[in-house]
Chains A and B, each alone.
Chain A
Amino acid sequence: MTAAPYIVIDRVCKSFGAQPVLRDVCTQFRSGEVSVIIGASGSGKSTLLRAINRLEPHDSGTITIAGVPVGPHEATLQQQRTDVGMVFQQFNLFGHMTVLDNLTLAPRRIHRTPRAQANAQAMALLRRVGLQEHAAKYPWQLSGGQQQRVAIARALAMNPKVMLFDEPTSALDPEMVQEVLDVMRELARAGMTMVVVTHEMGFAREVADRVLFFDQGRIAHEAPPAEFFGQPANERIRAFIGRMGG
């Protein structure tokens, strides 16, 4: 973990109305590192993730991606977003497009990749997530787990340098959680930089390089998983891990 920090969060604040959700958050995400963010709902972990690609603009402080600040400038932002893949809790696949078209839309529009080439790349990604047979289907014809794997493949189609996962398994039936986690494990093994907001303690223990505990808009604690789960830093964290069945 000696690589340069790829994403740097510096004193970031964000409020929804009078309600502060991020308070002076400072942290860094390095290339090749898998960071898992845990914490109670409403603690601000999803908001931080969404601030990184400016789906939720932050109020103050700075976020930089590869040294470039995340800001309102549209062209810069679009460039940054192509480098930052995102996977949502509700999948958000484009319902009017086939699985294949979901994957090829961004490369064709942004890189003007010819359709045949985009299709070939998309098929390779679908094989990687084990869904090559479903390329011609529409999202509604797939199970939740399959949809989320398509969503991961869609984000990978832009060759991002980092992947953000916003509670990727929270909307899934229990028996479908593993197939999504398997894909994420494989990604981590392949060296992808990942920031994962999740309640899957098993995944955090096994795959994470570091675990960040969010509490009331702050990073209350940060440690490697063995230490984080082995010797919980305080009672709050111990109680949280206990509740999550970790």
Chain B
Amino acid sequence: MPIAFWPAHWSRLQRSNATLATALLLLVLVMAALGRLFSWLPEPIGSSAETFADGARTTLWLTLVSGGLGLVLGTATALARTSRWALLRWGARFYLWVIRGTPLLVQILFVYFALPLLVPGLRLPEFAAAVLALGLNAGAYNSEAIRAGLLAVPQGQTEAARALGLRRRHVFLDVVMPQAFKMALPPLVSNFVALLKDSSLAYAIGVVELTNVGNRLQSQTFQPIATLSTVALTYLVLTTLITQATQAIEYRFDIEDRAR
């Protein structure tokens, strides 16, 4: 549902909300009806429709939860990197250095297999381990997107806010953050969509998500074209709906009407 779909006299906010609501509603409907949709497909998909639907729901959950974690971690890390305290800056740099310098697959395996040995008692179930690893990974990349946004807000904005006598907190929350967030939004969306696809790596520790389901069926039925096409198509549907929602958010902040 492109923005232009809505009546011309609607305000930016109304159009943005309408698109956002429609995209999210469609996402919920598609997820709920996925079992039925798959069951209409020919064999070997039709008979495994519910397994496929469960896999897709797991993929979406994995993405949403680790995406939320990644946004919180990313914001915290970006703030730490621009902090006045050297210790915070170093901590953030170290985190970024480790996460960006190692493969995501290794991180997932590490959290699942190695972490319980390093920290006794921290034996995470597959899903939680995948969320933690994906969230840590997304957080590192998000922090760079948010930091780029923070640095792109002109110095004059901070100066004007401080010159008015605003507290540091208000300078940041009212003046810097909204403008930084707007600039960070496109790369954040890219990261989120990448996360949706990267969540397929959770397959390595046995999370029964979409790719895992497809690959199992493929090896059982020896029909790679049908099964893997279904997997790919499902990812495409998910990413399409998610980008519609995020475009609506971008549109809301684009008060200069530049991204037409």
Interface of A toward B, CB cutoff 8 Å: 53, 55, 74, 78-82, 84-86, 88, 90, 92-96, 105-106, 109-110, 138, 140, 151, 154-155, 158
| Chain B, interface SS category | helix
Q: Is B234 an interface residue (CB 8 A)?
A: no
Known: A55-B163, A81-B163. 13 other contacts (CB 8 A): A81-B164, A86-B163, A88-B159, A92-B159, A94-B157, A94-B175, A96-B179, A105-B164, A105-B170, A109-B166, A110-B167, A138-B255, A140-B256
Asked if A154 contacts B157 (CB within 8 A), the reply is: no
Chain B residues near A82 (CB-CB < 8 A): 164-165
**Contact residues on B (Cβ < 8 Å of other chain), bracket:** 20 to 34
Interface of B toward A, CB cutoff 8 Å: 154, 156-157, 159-168, 170, 174-175, 178-179, 182, 253, 255-256
Considering the chains assembled together, what is the distance between the CA atoms of A84 and B156 in angstroms? 17
Chain B residues near A93 (CB-CB < 8 A): 160
Asked if B156 contacts A155 (CB within 8 A), the reply is: no
Chain A residues near B179 (CB-CB < 8 A): 94-96
- Contact partner of B164 (CB less than 8 A), chosen from A79, A90, A106, is A106
Asked if B157 contacts A92 (CB within 8 A), the reply is: yes
Considering the chains assembled together, what is the distance between the CA atoms of A158 and B162 in angstroms? 13
- Contact partner of B165 (CB less than 8 A), chosen from A88, A96, A110, A151, is A110
Asked if B175 contacts A155 (CB within 8 A), the reply is: no
A76 to B: closest C-beta gap in Å: 11
- Contact partner of B156 (CB less than 8 A), chosen from A80, A88, A138, is A88
Chain A residues near B182 (CB-CB < 8 A): 96
Chain B residues near A90 (CB-CB < 8 A): 156
Chain A residues near B174 (CB-CB < 8 A): 94, 105, 109
Considering the chains assembled together, what is the distance between the CA atoms of A80 and B159 in angstroms? 15
Asked if A78 contacts B165 (CB within 8 A), the reply is: yes
Q: Which residue in chain B gives the minimum CB-CB distance to A53?
A: B163
Considering the chains assembled together, what is the distance between the CA atoms of A90 and B159 in angstroms? 11
Asked if B164 contacts A155 (CB within 8 A), the reply is: yes
Chain B residues near A95 (CB-CB < 8 A): 157, 179, 256
- Would you mind naming 10 contact pairs between A and B with Cβ atoms under 8 Å apart? A55-B163, A78-B167, A81-B165, A85-B163, A105-B174, A106-B164, A109-B170, A110-B167, A140-B255, A155-B163
Chain A residues near B156 (CB-CB < 8 A): 88, 90, 92
Chain B residues near A53 (CB-CB < 8 A): 163
Asked if A81 contacts B162 (CB within 8 A), the reply is: yes
Asked if A92 contacts B168 (CB within 8 A), the reply is: no
Chain B residues near A86 (CB-CB < 8 A): 160, 163
